[in-house]
Amino acid sequence: MTPSFDEMQATAAAVRPHYRGFERWLGQQPPELMAARREEAEMIFRRVGITFAVYGAKDEDGAGTERLIPFDLIPRIIPADEWQRMQAGLEQRVTALNRFIHDVYHGQEILKAGVVPAEQVLKNAQFRPEMMGVDVPGGIYSHIAGIDIVRAARPDGSGTYYVLEDNLRVPSGVSYMLENRKMMMRLFPELFANHRIAPVAHYPDLLLETLRDVAPASVNEPTVVVLTPGMYNSAYFEHAFLAQQMGVELVEGQDLFVKEGFVYMRTTQGPKRVDVIYRRVDDDFLDPQAFRPNSTLGCAGLLDVYRKGNISLCNAIGTGVADDKSIYPYVPKMVEFYLGEKPILENVPTHLCREPKDLQYVLDHLSELVVKEVHGAGGYGMLVGPAASKAEIEEFRAQLLANPSNYIAQPTLALSTCPTFVERGIAPRHIDLRPFVLSGKSVQMVPGGLTRVALKEGSLVVNSSQGGGTKDTWVLEDEPGRDTVPGALTSMGQSSQSQTQSQSSQSQSQSQRQR
C-alpha cells in the first residue's frame, strides 16, 4: 500500500508552507500545557452538554450511555487554493445530485438514457413512489448535504482528494464544527491573532437563509422549525443547538398537527402555522398515515400537505435515493449528464457486488478491500480487510454470498494523517473531512467542515460511534506560501486580530443566547 499523505510534513525534515507558523508555535508549547488545555476542553464540553447517545450501549446500571466526542487540540489546516478547488467541486457535485433526484421523480431521463440502471433506482429502498410528480421549491431536494472527503497519496507522493460518501438525508456533525472553533478560540486566542483563518460562525445564518429560501412561494415571512425525534436521539444536542442558534422553535412530532391542508404547531398562544420544517427524522417516521403507521415521531397527514405545496421539508422526502452507496459510483456520470462538465472531485474506485465479475474480484481480494453495506452508516456493517482476522473475513464472505447486492467494495485507501495530541504525545492519525453544503436560491458553504480523526493507532474508522474524535478545520485566507510568525504583528496579523475580535464577540453573543 502507498504510504499515507501527511497533511503537515512534506518530508521528515520539511513542513508544508501552510503549516509553518503553526508548527513553530506548537514546538514552543510544553506537553503539560497541552494536556491541561485538553482537560479544560473536555470539562467545558461536558458542562455545555456536547454529547451524543450511543445506541445499544449501556452503562453499569443498564441505562443508555451518552459520550463525549473526543476533541483534538491540533487543527487540520487547508490552504486557500486547495479549498477553492474543493468548494467548486462540492458545488458541482451537489448541483448534479439535486438535478438527479428531481429527474428520478419526474422525467427519469437519466434512466431512459441508460446512464444509471433503472432497477438500481426504482427498486431502491430509499425510492419513494409517493414523490413522483411532486414539485418542490426550486427543484432542490437536498438542502443540507454533508459530503465526506478523504485524501490519499498517489505513488508520486502527492495527495488527491476523493469523495468517499454523499450524505443527503439528515447529515449531522455541523454543531461540532462550530463548537470546535469556539473552543480553539477560547484556548488559543493567539493563534487566531496571527493566522488569517476563514470564519465559520455564520453557518447558522446561512442555514436559516437557505431554509427561508425554499419556503412555499405564497409565504412572505416563513415560520421555520427544527423537527427532532426527541432527546434520546444520538444527535439531539445538535438539533437543539441549531434551533437555538437560528432563533427558531425545536419541535417534536407531537407538537405538530395538520388542519385544512396546512401544518400548525401548538404554542402557548395557540396554533401557529409552520411553513418550513428542517427535519432530523428519517422518511419512514415522518407521517404515520403514509409510512410507518406505528411512528410517533412525525405528524399525521404531513405528506398530503407537502404534496399540495403548503409546507417545505428540508431535506425532501425521497432524497435518500441519491446517497445510497450503490448509486454513488454513478455520480461522476451524473455531473456529465446534467451539467456537461467533467467532475472536479474524483470518486473512490468502487466494485458493485451485484455484478458477477465485481463480486468474484471482491471474494478473491477480501483481505485487501473495504466492503460496505449499501445502506450502512456510522462505521457499522463493514469489513476493513487488512485489519480483519481470517475468521472475520470468512464470516463476511458468507454474508456477501448470501446477499451480494447489499454490498459494495473499495480499495483500502491510506487516508491522510494529521498530527494529533494523544496520550503518548503528538502522533499521526488518519482523518477525513465533512464539508456542509447548503442549497437554496444559491449553493453556499462555510470554509472547511468537520474533520474527524481515528484516534486508535492505525485505524481508518473515524466515526464517533467507533471511537473517533474531531478537530477544528482551518481554511487559511493567507496567500499560498505566505508565512505568518506567531508574536509578530504584521499588517496581516493586525487584520487577523481584528477578525479574531469580531469572531470572539460573535461567539460570546452566541454563548449568551445559549445560556
- pLDDT tens per residue across span 174-229: 999 999 999 999 999 999 998 999 999 999 999 999 999 999 988 999 999 999 99
**Cα dist. 68→47, 171, 211, 491, 514 in Å?**
11, 19, 29, 39, 19
* Range list of H helices, 214-353: 236-246, 302-307, 331-334
79 Cβ contact partners less than 8 Å away, ≥ 6 residues apart: 17, 18, 475, 476, 478, 480
d(CA 153, CA 452): 18
Q: What is the DSSP string of 162-185?
A: EEEEEE-SS---HHHHHHHHHHHH
How many other C-beta atoms are found inside a 10 Å radius of the C-beta of residue 509?
11
Cell numbers given for 74: 491540533
338 closest CA partner among 33, 107, 1: 107
Q: Which range, of 170-174, 365-369, 480-484, averages the lowest pLDDT?
A: 480-484
Q: What is the mean pLDDT of residues 62-75?
A: 75
Q: What is the mean pLDDT of residues 375-387?
A: 72
Q: Using pLDDT thresholds of 50, 70 and 90, give the confidence band for residue 515.
A: very low
Are 363 and 385 in contact, with CB atoms under 8 Å apart?
no
pLDDT of res. 62: 44
Are 196 and 499 in contact, with CB atoms under 8 Å apart?
yes
Q: Using pLDDT thresholds of 50, 70 and 90, give the confidence band for residue 480.
A: very low
* Cross-strand pairs, 384: 370
Q: Per-residue pLDDT tens for 104-116? A: 999 999 999 999 9
Q: Per-residue pLDDT tens for 282-322? A: 999 999 999 999 999 999 999 999 999 999 999 999 999 99
Residue 68 has pLDDT above 90, yes or no: no
Q: What is the pTM of this model?
A: 0.87
Cell numbers given for 92: 458541482
Q: What is the mean pLDDT of residues 262-271?
A: 96
pLDDT of res. 465: 63
- Angle (CA) 282-285-289 rounded to 5° is 140
Are 417 and 428 in contact, with CB atoms under 8 Å apart?
yes
Are 139 and 106 in contact, with CB atoms under 8 Å apart?
no
Any idea what DSSP says for residue 344? S
Q: Look up cell 464540553; give the residue.
A: 45
| Residue percentage of the chain with pLDDT more than 70 | 87
Helix (H, G, I), strand (E, B) or coil at 363: helix
Residue 121 has pLDDT above 80, yes or no: yes
Are 229 and 270 in contact, with CB atoms under 8 Å apart?
no
Are 434 and 147 in contact, with CB atoms under 8 Å apart?
yes
Characterise 95 by phi-psi region: left (phi > 0), alpha (psi -120 to 50), beta (else). alpha
Amino acid at 253: G
Q: Per-residue pLDDT tens for 321-359? A: 998 888 999 999 999 999 999 999 999 999 999 889 999
Q: Look up cell 419512514; give the residue.
A: 284
pLDDT of res. 155: 76
